[in-house]
Structure 1
């Protein structure tokens, strides 16, 4: 699905855009006037964590559940735990910040890497470490991504990274291609209107 046909949450529609019209998420750094979509701005990520701001639209997230988009490996682990009736515990920290449900549904559909299983990463992590070693240019997202709601999150702002852990799955919306979330996004936007 073309990104310009995906309905935008109002706060996302107010975000700065790149030359193609893609809204630029709150945690995306800029370099020479251009957004660097495959990277995360440390300062903005810390601001979002400290202020409980959505990593996509930069607006306050109310108390309660938060959402994030997960790739194939984590999606499979969550799906297996839920199918077996076990809780899923995200014990390993991630650099991926949370957001509103509508914003994450939207992001899952418009970000080429998140939207399709055959999409490939455009960049390798700047300074690979144990959390980012898998972020290699050309790596495919893989089968079955998901938009996942969590009851809450924890975070730590370290000198080099902002780390997140997510607690208690409250919603699991798997997708092969993210356009499967179009009806859920429309319903969420109608509910919030």
Structure 2
């Protein structure tokens, strides 16, 4: 577990609660995103998982099957990957996203199902339906930069210039890379863009 994630508040089971997770009646709502917390992370260039500042340079996120497939197809064809469709998922540190890909049941396994539906479905959240199976491959992906827009009820992100693509069926394949990234971070070493 990255040090910054280990310092996060925990739920009653002892699980660290991501920076953008809303709380209700003293309990975190893991499947939801808090608008104000997400906006604060976007504006302050804070990791959406640990809430700590992200240095200038690449940012990471975890993507689902559709985007994983589109990235793989672009790379196989020798084309740059560009997805101008906004997403609600904010960026984070490389170690935090590697970690999140393994500990979030929905991100970690293709047979995982969503626990909750989006509270107010719209074009960006229509796929967030209780019981929906992730299916297919996921990936931890690095981008050179991100853009964001804060609207009245959501924060939308776009990611630019692919620098790293780590696909997975089962996210535990990232464990050794997570350990190496935590060791680099503890030693102050910077990971070159990929």
Instruction: Determine if the TM-score, normalized by the shorter chain, exceeds 0.5.
Output: yes
How many angstroms apart in 1 are the aligned matches of 2:132 and 2:125? 12
What is the aligned counterpart of 2:153 among 155, 160, 179?
A: 160
2-structure distance, mates of 1:164, 1:178: 23
Displacement of 1:55: 0.2
Structure 1-normalised TM-score? 0.95
Q: 1:64 aligns with which of 37, 41, 57?
A: 57
Correspondences of 1:38-187 after superposition (within 5 Å) = 38-187=31-180
Shift in Å, 1:191: 0.6
Post-superposition, which runs of at least 4 consecutive aligned residues in structure 1 deviate over 2 A? none
Give the C-alpha shift of residue 21 in structure 1.
1.6
CA distance in structure 2 between the partners assigned to 1:28 and 1:72 by the alignment:
23
In the alignment, structure 2 segments of 5+ residues that lack a partner are 187-194
Please report the RMSD computed on the Cα atoms of aligned residues, expressed in angstroms.
0.5
Separation in 1 of the partners of 2:98 and 2:14? 18
Q: Hey, what does 2:7 align to over in structure 1?
A: 14
Correspondent of 2:29 among 4, 17, 36: 36
SS at structure 2 position matched to 1:179: helix
What is the total number of aligned residue pairs between the two structures?
186
Distance 1:19 1:143 in 2: 32
Indicate the SS of the match to 2:100: helix
Normalising by structure 2, what TM-score? 0.95
Gaps of 5+ in 1: 1-7
